[in-house]
DNA sequence: AAAAAAATCTCAAACGTTTGCGAAAATGTT
DNA sequence: AACATTTTCGCAAACGTTTGAGATTTTTTT
């Protein structure tokens, strides 16, 4: 009914189940003659190993858990794409679990990973995650755990993240070198430590400079848009705007378009982005690249290291680079 | 070492494994006294059922397979988000498999779904998928199969897709009613049947009208951009541009921005989109909504119907609706 | 107080694989 | 031809759970 099993093949060939099993995995104990016999019949009968049985027997799954706040986000989905791509190459699949940035759902999802005996889990923690026992449980089961992007400060573990400060500093210095005098800087969710770090580093760059700097925290395009609009309508409007994320960039640009300003001439804009959005505008926006794709590749590499030799804990930081557009 | 098992609980409590198993699932045969005893200890010991063992015993997994060309696409990732969200509510997880629009990887992925005994699979076929035996195999195993978005014409099955024609017709009629005289229409991958249908329906609307219509096929923003640029630089430039997708819209708008034209005044624009991109421009773009999110919800609903009562095959079509912006 | 019914629990097989160890068959060595 | 090796294979247990059917205990009925 459902699928061919080793037992069926063994019966049909008059050999034992173990021989069939070994034949299929090219075990040296088995003669090449029976190997081909087995292979042929298995092929004919469309034999496919039962992943559950294997998982039960070996107590692992060829599956990675991937915990993420939301997949509808160009940064995360390029991360996911990268991890999936690499995983497939080595025979792993990925199980995606969204938390909706909700800490409770996050622990549910961690539980799911344990129940499924996944081979490893990648996690980008929710903003309000406070308790780390669920993560400890994962570790107790010897399941490799890789934090990425939003990583916990106060918890030890493998971490792969972007150079938070570098990207902010790079942006700030670009603005300073261009000789701008009044800067409006938009940052994301104030509660996130990544935001805090960036703000601090960014502000530091402007110390002792004769440049006016105003910083604001925003969570969505719909907040940024009106704020930019009113800022640009003031008498002393900013001559440079910094955008910490794509969403913010979109909000800023919407205001810029609304006022029919030309970026790079009437006002300068610089963003932190993974690169898609800056290129949909003309002139293109100058940005500091933070690639979800690269981050994904790095996280995957780290995961494989953990699986192969359960080595010590590492924190990896992906550097960012400035991509010149014509907006500043 | 790894995790608590039923056996351990049963031994500790001096009762049989089956009693423990039944107690945990609230079976009527078990007294409430032992139920609470079991529940307490299970809780204390952090018992978590082994998904592999359950899967092996019951021959199913609480997992849906999700086959998709690429997840880095706002339409698909909102689809994925919707399916994941709903699945979680009923205790299912999703396994994401990208084909990269490659038919061979697609069959590999289908195989993975079978090996994992998933409870159901959602699939958006690759553009060149020709052979349907792998899908038959899925069906033979009584695994519910839901095609979505890019569905095969020549293959019977459950299908959930957007009203291809309606969205094109809606766009066309909006253009006609606005009194435009020269239309430039960009469509996506020429080989896809969905494209063919839309083109045909779109063209039909313009029959017997005194409107100039030029259609072009494009696959990326980088193609659309220069083409739009040159079209808008001609003497008789189009007064309305139709964009079949978000990517095309971005390409068109880049040219519009480049030329410092104002949408809705200098040139009209209308798109088919799931709604994010049209709203990042000012004025906002008028579009026909085709929501990946809604499609996901519908596909999920259909999946649950299939799981509950293995009813007959259905084809569901999600209607589209015009969202007014100021671009036409 | 005995018989019948109901409630509660246990046994044991099964799901499909993997794997250590021992058995049989083939080959090589004196 | 007898023995030692090597090659090839089979046995059986184990992974953790579910489930039908039977066993035991408790409660109800007569």
pLDDT at A246: 93
Query: Which positions in strand C are less than 7 Å from the protein's CB atoms?
Result: 7-12, 14-21
Q: Three-class SS of residue A117?
A: coil
pLDDT at B71: 85
User: How close does chain A come to B138, measured CA to CA in Å?
Assistant: 10
Furthest-apart CA atoms within chain A: distance in Å: 91
Encode pLDDT of B61-82 as tens digits. Answer: 899 999 999 888 888 888 999 9
Encode pLDDT of A269-325 as tens digits. Answer: 999 998 999 999 999 999 999 888 999 999 999 999 998 876 678 899 998 899 999
A45 touches strand C (CB under 7 A): no
User: In angstroms, rounded to a whole number, what is the distance separating the alpha carbons of residues A163 and A169?
Assistant: 10
Encode pLDDT of A240-276 as tens digits. Answer: 999 999 999 999 999 999 999 999 999 999 999 989 9
B208 burial level (CB within 10 Å; 0-12, 13-18, 19+): exposed
Name every chain B residue with its beta carbon within 8 A of the beta carbon of A93. 95-97, 112, 116
Phi and psi dihedrals of B105, rounded to 5?
Answer: -65, -35
Encode pLDDT of A2-61 as tens digits. Answer: 678 999 999 999 999 999 999 999 988 999 899 999 999 999 998 999 999 999 999 888
Name every chain A residue with its beta carbon within 8 A of the beta carbon of B98. 81, 84-85, 88
Q: Domains of chain A: which residue ranges?
A: 6-49, 60-161+293-318, 164-289
Q: Is the pLDDT of residue B273 over 80?
A: yes
**A280: nearest Cα among B257, B107, B37:** B257
Cis check: omega of the bond before A283, within 30 degrees of 0: yes
CB contact under 8 A, A280 and B254: yes
The CATH topology of domain A164-289 is Rossmann fold (3.40.50)
β-pairing, B182-187 vs B158-162, is unpaired
**B296: nearest Cα among B120, B163, B148:** B148
User: In angstroms, rounded to a whole number, what is the distance separating the alpha carbons of residues A158 and A302?
Assistant: 8
Q: Three-class SS of residue B217?
A: strand
Q: Is the pLDDT of residue B1 over 50?
A: no
CA distances from A247 to A127, A273, A320, A321, B273 (A): 17, 9, 19, 20, 18
Residue in chain B closest to A282 (alpha carbons) equals B258
CB contact under 8 A, B95 and A97: no
Share of chain A above pLDDT 70, in %: 99
Residue in chain B closest to A221 (alpha carbons) equals B280
Please report, rounded to whole angstroms, the spatial distance between the CA atom of protein residue A88 and the C1' atom of nucleotide C15. Answer: 28
DSSP β-bridge partners for residue B243 = B186, B271
A15 touches strand C (CB under 7 A): no
Rounded mean pLDDT, B49-57: 93
CB contact under 8 A, B93 and A98: no
Rounded mean pLDDT, A136-164: 89
Q: Three-class SS of residue B50?
A: coil
Q: Are A274 and A288 in contact (CB under 8 A)?
A: no
Q: Three-class SS of residue B322?
A: strand
Q: Are B250 and B278 in contact (CB under 8 A)?
A: no
Encode pLDDT of B197-208 as tens digits. Answer: 899 999 999 998
Quickly count: other Cβ atoms within 10 Å of residue A199's Cβ: 18
CA distances from B103 to A60, A80, A85, B129, B220 (A): 29, 21, 15, 5, 21
**A70: nearest Cα among A165, A150, A154, A134:** A150
User: How close does chain A come to B29, measured CA to CA in Å?
Assistant: 26
Question: Residue A1 — very low, low, confident or very high, per pLDDT cuts 50/70/90?
Answer: very low
Question: Residue B128 — very low, low, confident or very high, per pLDDT cuts 50/70/90?
Answer: confident
Query: Which positions in strand D are less than 7 Å from the protein's CB atoms?
Result: 7-12, 14-21
Q: Is the pLDDT of residue B264 over 70?
A: yes
Encode pLDDT of B142-197 as tens digits. Answer: 889 999 998 888 899 999 998 878 999 999 999 999 999 999 999 998 877 778 88
- Least confident range from A93-107, A167-181, A241-255: namely A93-107
CB contact under 8 A, B282 and A258: yes
Encode pLDDT of A46-78 as tens digits. Answer: 899 999 999 999 988 899 999 999 888 888 888
Quickly count: other Cβ atoms within 10 Å of residue B286's Cβ: 24
**A52: nearest Cα among B54, B87, B83:** B54
The correct answer on CATH 3.40.50.1100 for the domain covering B61-161+293-318 is no
CATH among 3.90.1150.10, 3.40.50.300, 1.10.10.10, 3.40.50.2300 for A60-161+293-318: 3.40.50.2300
Encode pLDDT of A190-247 as tens digits. Answer: 877 778 889 999 999 999 899 999 999 998 899 999 999 999 999 889 999 999 999 9
Q: Three-class SS of residue A154?
A: coil
pLDDT at A2: 64
User: In angstroms, rounded to a whole number, what is the distance separating the alpha carbons of residues B185 and A128?
Assistant: 47
Strand nucleotide closest to residue B18 (CA to C1'): C10
User: In angstroms, rounded to a whole number, what is the distance separating the alpha carbons of residues A267 and B260?
Assistant: 15
Domains A60-161+293-318 and A164-289 are alike in CATH topology: yes
pLDDT at B2: 64
Indicate the residue of A50, A88, A96 with minimum beta-carbon distance to B94: A96
Rounded mean pLDDT, A94-107: 90
User: How close does chain B come to A29, measured CA to CA in Å?
Assistant: 26
Indicate the residue of A70, A88, A117 with minimum beta-carbon distance to B81: A70
């Amino acid at each position: 009914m459902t699928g061919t099993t080793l037992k069926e093949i063994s019966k049909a060939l008059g050999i034992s189940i173990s021989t069939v099993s070994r034949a299929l995995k090219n075990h040296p104990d088995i003669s090449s003659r029976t190997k081909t016999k087995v292979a042929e019949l298995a092929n004919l009968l469309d034999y496919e190993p039962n992943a559950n049985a294997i998982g039960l027997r070996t107590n692992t799954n060829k599956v990675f858990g991937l915990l993420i706040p939301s997949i509808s986000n160009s940064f995360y989905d390029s991360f996911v794409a990268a991890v999936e791509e690499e995983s497939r190459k080595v025979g792993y699949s990925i199980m995606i679990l969204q938390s909706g940035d909700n800490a409770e759902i996050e622990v549910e999802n961690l539980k799911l990973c344990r129940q499924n005996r996944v081979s490893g889990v990648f996690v980008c923690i929710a903003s309000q995650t406070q308790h780390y026992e669920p993560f400890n449980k994962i570790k107790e089961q010897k399941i490799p755990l890789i934090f990425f992007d939003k990583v916990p400060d106060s918890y030890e573990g493998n971490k792969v993240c972007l150079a938070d400060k570098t990207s902010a500093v790079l942006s700030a210095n670009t603005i300073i070198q261009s000789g701008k005098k009044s800067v409006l800087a938009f940052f994301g969710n104030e509660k996130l430590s990544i935001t805090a770090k960036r703000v601090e580093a960014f502000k530091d760059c402007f110390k002792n400079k004769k440049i006016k700097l105003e910083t604001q925290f925003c969570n969505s395009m719909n907040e940024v848009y009106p704020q930019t609009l009113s800022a640009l309508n003031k008498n002393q409007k900013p001559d440079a705007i910094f955008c910490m994320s794509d969403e913010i960039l979109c909000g800023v640009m919407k205001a810029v378009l609304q006022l029919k300003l030309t970026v790079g001439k009437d006002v300068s804009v610089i963003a932190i982005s993974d690169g898609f959005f800056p290129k949909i505008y003309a002139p293109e926006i100058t940005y500091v690249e933070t690639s979800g794709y690269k981050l994904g590749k790095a996280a995957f590499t780290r995961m494989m290291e953990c699986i192969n030799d359960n080595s010590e804990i590492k924190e990896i930081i992906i550097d960012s680079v400035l991509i010149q557009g014509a907006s500043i």
